[in-house]
Amino acid sequence: MPNREQTQIPQHFVFALVEDFSHIAFSCAVDPLRIANLISGEELYTWSFASLDGETATSSNNSVTLTHNRFQDIPQCDRLFVLSGINMQRMDHTILVNVLRRIDRTTRTQIGALCSGAYILVKAGFLNGRKAAVHWEYHDSFLEIFPKVNVVRNVFVGDEQYITASGGTATADLMLHLIERDHGYDLSVAVADQMVYNTVRNATSEQKVSLQSRSAMRNKHLASAISMMRDSFEDPMSTAMIASKIGISTRQLERLFGKHLNSSPKKYFLEMRLDRARKLLLQTEMSIVDVAMACGFQSPGHFSRVFRTNFGTTPMRQRDRLD
């Protein structure tokens, strides 16, 4: 991408690092900004870090990051992200909460949260009645403790007043979304390419949780059903057939999906097939007809209608650009 004459003041990001913050989310937040500057040949973004003592912050992997300011001394900025990780419920966030409220009340800074940082935004009173993305590990506790927050399974929420990302690589998805909004689609794609990040997710993408990663989902019947679904994409098995092969009733299988996945077998299987179709569109040169057949859809027309209902765009547009 050719250099252009600098025409605007760089946007400044501040990352408020809470002890035990997620280092992977931190890296996925800062590096896309650095790469955007590198590729554009301009200083589009600047950033600084804040912590409780204004000197250092330690991540959950024990990496120590030097910081520029105390929470009370956060400088004027365009975007302020709270980044936390494990153990955030056990900490006293009074100072940071008061700072966030003051900044929200007196400036035009956009405030957001990464990983479990949404917990602190709730404490500040920002997320009641709003959508929020938080790491799946905290979903159950959020629903229980903060019933007024609309916790979503999306990897990020980028268009609310307070923006949130669920953590990990979802932070990179959010940053690429912001780069596209600030400086255009071409730059966001170039940044993703530089990161060798080929499956950029949009805000409607949902967090996918491994069946073995949560004790509540370590159910042999559920695992068998999803394995059968994964093995029959081209010729989808009916819910009744899957239940019969597992040796349980259809009603039992539906109860398992409802209890552990908050979905029905039919809906979950359709989402699996659509997710695979999207990956094939983005990662291969297969025709749309072949993608539809590989994912078990009756016709390209049916595939296009279902795909658009789920993702808000057609298979053709999805391939042309990452909507």
Domain range annotation of the chain: 11-194, 211-320
Residue that has been written with the tokens 């559920």 in this structure: 222
Closest CA to 165 of 79, 251, 287, 285: 79
What residues contact residue 41 under an 8 Å CB cut-off, 6+ apart?
1, 2, 3, 4
Residue 211: predicted pLDDT? 46
How does 2-29 read in b/e, with b if 16+ C-beta sit within 10 Å? eeeeeeeeebbbbbbbbbbbbbbbbebb
> Is the CB of residue 97 less than 8 Å from the CB of residue 120?
yes
Query: What is the pLDDT confidence band of residue 130, given thresholds at 50, 70 and 90?
Result: very high
Mean pLDDT of 119-142: 87
For the ranges 97-106, 204-213, 220-229, 234-243, the lowest mean pLDDT is seen at 204-213
Q: Is 124 exposed, middle or buried (0-12, 13-18, 19+ CB in 10 A)?
A: buried
Residues 6+ apart with CB under 8 A from 151: 132, 133, 134, 139, 142, 143
pLDDT of residue 44: 97
pLDDT above 60 for 323: no
- How much is the pLDDT for 212? 43
Residue 216 has pLDDT above 60, yes or no: no
Residues 145-158: pLDDT tens digits? 888 998 887 889 98
Cα distances (Å, whole numbers) of residue 105 to 76, 79, 108, 149, 173: 13, 14, 8, 21, 28
Band the pLDDT of 230: cuts 50, 70, 90.
confident
Q: What is the mean pLDDT of the chain?
A: 87
Residue 218 pLDDT grade (very low, low, confident, very high; cuts 50, 70, 90): low
In CATH terms, the superfamily for domain 11-194 is Class I glutamine amidotransferase (GATase) domain (3.40.50.880)
At 225 the pLDDT is 92
> What does the alpha-carbon distance between residue 272 and residue 24 come to, in Å, rounded to a whole number?
26
**Does position 4 have pLDDT exceeding 70, yes or no?**
no
Pick the CATH number of 211-320 from 3.20.20.30, 3.40.50.720, 1.10.10.60, 3.20.20.80: 1.10.10.60
Looking at residue 136, what is its pLDDT?
A: 76
CA distance 256 to 268: 12
Q: How far apart are CA 189 and CA 177, in angstroms?
A: 10
pLDDT at residue number 213: 42
- pLDDT score for 236: 94
By the 8 A CB rule, do 253 and 243 touch?
A: yes
Question: In this predicted structure, what is the pLDDT of residue 244?
Answer: 95
The amino acid at residue 8 is Q
Average pLDDT over residues 242-260: 92
Q: How many whole angstroms separate alpha carbon 14 and alpha carbon 61?
A: 21
SS3 state at 110: strand
Burial class for 262, CB neighbours closer than 10 Å (0-12, 13-18, 19+): exposed
Q: What pLDDT is attached to residue 209?
A: 56
Distance between CA atoms of 163 and 161, rounded to whole angstroms? Answer: 6
Tens-digit pLDDT profile for residues 22-45: 999 999 999 999 999 999 999 999
Least confident of 1-5, 148-152, 169-173: 1-5
What's the N-to-C CA distance of the chain in angstroms?
21
- Is 215 a residue whose pLDDT tops 50? no
DSSP 86: T
Residue 240 has pLDDT above 70, yes or no: yes
pLDDT of residue 288: 92
| β-strands 163-165, 156-157 pairing | antiparallel
Nearest in space to 288 (alpha carbons), one of 46, 131, 278, 265: 278
Q: Is 80 in contact with 111 (CB distance < 8 Å)?
A: yes
Query: Given the DSSP bridges, would you call strands 64-66 and 56-58 parallel, antiparallel or unpaired?
Result: antiparallel
Dihedral class, residue 50 (left if φ above 0, else alpha if ψ from -120 to 50, else beta): beta
Quote the pTM value.
Answer: 0.66
User: Once rounded to an integer, what is the mean pLDDT over residues 81-87?
Assistant: 92
- Is-same-fold flag (11-194; 211-320)? no
